[in-house]
Amino acid sequence: MKRTILSFVLILLIYSCHENQPLQTDGKTEIQIQAMWSNPSEDSVQSFIPLSNAEFVLICEYGTTIAYADENGLLSISDLPSSIYQISASQKHPADQNITIVGSINNVEVISGEVRQDTIYAKPISSSGISINEIYAGGPINNIYFCYDQFIELYNSSNEVKYLDGMQVFRLSQTDGVNTPGSDWDYDGDIDGVTYAFKFPGSPGQTNYPFEPQSFLVLASDAYNHKNTVSNSIDLSHADWEFVNQLNAVDIDNPNVPNLSNFRLNKTSDFLIRLDTDRIIITSGVDTVWKNGIDIETILDGVEYRSNRTSIPTMDDRIDRGWVQSPPKYKGKSMQRREKGVDTNDSTLDWEIINTPTPGWH
């Protein structure tokens, strides 16, 4: 009898090790979001109207989904997996195609079985000026660790000529052992962690180096035809600008391309960025002392890109609330804004991976 009871207890113990099947099932998520915007030109009193046929971008751990709203600006999408979504809506301004109406909501946790209803209030993003439009860091497809055809592309989305004189480009990847790069280490209104500091010639306020409206500039690490080294890399011999560290005698310097020069004088490296995780900022150049941090009000644009979806971005929220998912290394892919000049300070929504780098065009 004892043996029988013991056997029964053993079976019960083994069965009790089983976890119970959850009653809730995945894939039953429904999101209903309406995109609205206010058009002050039509009414002196602020009233919101639907953002008809808006493009919605939904990003979660499973990747990116693009869907379109109906005429009432309403997007209804069902059978999605449960996750935390970043959602943006955008549409061209009906009166001016150079203006984009953009809005977003972040960290929308949608539980299976629920219908999540929300509203995105979008705002026109007019030509605000200079922004980073593309970053190509990962290198072409190769097995010799070639990644020297890196470039950064800038875009002047305004309708006026901007001037590059004295503007600075920084790579931020340093830590002090406690704080992370791109954050405000001392809570004093600047961000820290400068690794490389390069600048255009001249000083802010001068007008020697114009940046034409609605145009691109390619800043090459080396303005060289890299196809001579690796056939499927990029010809950057016609880049607009080239990073040249004047303290490095062997750094490639194309005489036909003007230079950005190093002003962190203890660094002799070229302006090379990490292939999959890094932070780039451009500043007006008014703050010339990088050692105590870069004053936030002087920063024109900043982007953080990273490979790992689960790690936490480190760039200060005032520069960028999100981060760009980088492509894998040595795959010849690049990172670009979804729409040129559209900068909502949320790179998660603003950027995408493209299969082929597009230096000088979008």
Partner 1 sequence: MISLVVAINIIAQQSRLDQLGGLSYSIVDIDSQIDPYILGGNPAWLINSQLNSRLEINPSFTNSSGDYHRYYESGDVSNVDINFLGIKPLGKNGTFRGFAAYNYELQKDRNRILTLNPYSGDAFFFTDTTKGNYKYSGPTFGAMYSLEVVNNLFFGASINYQILDGLKKVYTFAETLYRNVSGNIGVAYQFSDNLSFGFNYQIFDTQERINASDVNNTEVQTFLYRGETFNIELRGTSQNYKIKKSVNAFCLQTQYIPIENLTVGLSFNYYSQTSQSLFPESSLHDVEDGYSSNDKINFLLMARLIYDENLIFGFTSGYNNSSHWSKNSKRELTIWEHEVSDVFSGVGLTFQTDDEQILVGAEYELHSISADSLKYINNRFTRLSALNHIARLGLESNLNKMFSLRLGYNLIYRKHDFIYGGENVITHLITFGTILKLSENIEIEPRFEYLTTNLNDNNLYKNDFGIFTTLRFYEF
Choices 152-160, 203-211, 284-292, 325-333 (CB under 8 A): range interacting with partner 1: 325-333
Taking residues 15 to 54 in sequence order and writing x for each that binds partner 1 by CB under 8 A, - otherwise, the string is x-xxx-xxxxxxxx--------------------------
Residue 21 C-beta: closest distance to partner 1, Å: 5
| Smallest separation, CB 331 to partner 1 (Å) | 8
Q: Are 195 and 201 in contact (CB under 8 A)?
A: no
Residues in CB range of 121: below 8 A, 6 or more apart: 36, 37, 38, 48, 103
Nearer to partner 1, 13 or 249 (CB): 13
Q: Does 145 bind partner 1 (CB under 8 A)?
A: yes
* CA terminus-to-terminus distance, the chain: 81
| x-marked contacts with partner 1 along 2-21 as a string, rule CB under 8 A | ---------x--xx-xxx-x
Nearer CB in complex with partner 1: 33/275: 275
Would you count residue 307 as binding partner 1 (CB under 8 A)? yes
DSSP-derived secondary structure for 296-353: GGGEEEEEEEES-SSSPP-S-TTT-SS-EEPPPTTS--EEEESSTT---S-HHHHEEE
Q: How many residues bind partner 1 (CB under 8 A)?
A: 32
Residue indicated by tokens 């150049």: 285
What minimum distance in Å lies between the beta carbon of 115 and partner 1? 16
Q: To which residue do tokens 């890094």 refer?
A: 278
For residues 68 and 145, which CB has a smaller minimum distance to partner 1 in the complex?
145
Residue 313, burial from CB neighbour count under 10 angstroms (0-12, 13-18, 19+): buried
Which of 290, 299, 303, 296 minimizes the C-alpha distance to 345?
303
What's the number of CA atoms in the CB half-sphere (13 Å) around residue 266? Answer: 4
Which residue number, 85 or 198, has a Cβ lying nearer to partner 1? 85
Scanning residues 190 to 229, which ones bind partner 1 (CB under 8 A)?
none
Nearest to 277 by CA among 171, 357, 351: 171
* Beta partners for residue 90, in sequence order: 55, 102
Span near partner 1 by CB under 8 A; candidates 30-38, 68-76, 202-210, 324-332:
324-332
232 is a contact residue toward partner 1 (CB under 8 A): no
Are the C-beta atoms of 165 and 199 separated by less than 8 Å?
Answer: no
Q: Can you tell me which residue has the tokens 């936030």? A: 296
**Residue 241, both tokens:** 């600008």
CA distance 76 to 69: 8
Binds partner 1 by CB under 8 A, chosen from 329, 345, 352, 354: 329
Which region, judged by CB under 8 A, interacts with partner 1, from 43-51, 57-65, 93-101, 245-253? 57-65
Question: For 297, phi and psi rounded to 5 degrees?
Answer: -70, -15
Q: How far is the CB of 8 from partner 1 (least distance, A)?
A: 11
359 and 134 in contact (C-beta within 8 Å)? yes
CA atoms within 13 Å, Cβ hemisphere of 42: 10
Q: What is d(CA 229, CA 295) in angstroms, rounded to the nearest whole number?
A: 40
Beta carbon nearer to partner 1, 71 or 79: 79
Among 43, 49, 176, 309, binds partner 1 (CB under 8 A): 309
Q: Which is nearer to partner 1, 63 or 177 (CB)?
A: 63
What track of x and - describes contact with partner 1 for positions 105 through 144 (by CB under 8 A)?
------xx------------------------------x-
Q: How far is the CB of 26 from partner 1 (least distance, A)?
A: 4
Please report how close the Cβ of residue 340 comes to partner 1 at its closest, in angstroms: 26
Give the interface with partner 1 as residue ranges (CB under 8 A): 11, 14-15, 17-19, 21-28, 61-63, 79, 81-82, 111-112, 143, 145, 275-276, 307-309, 328-330
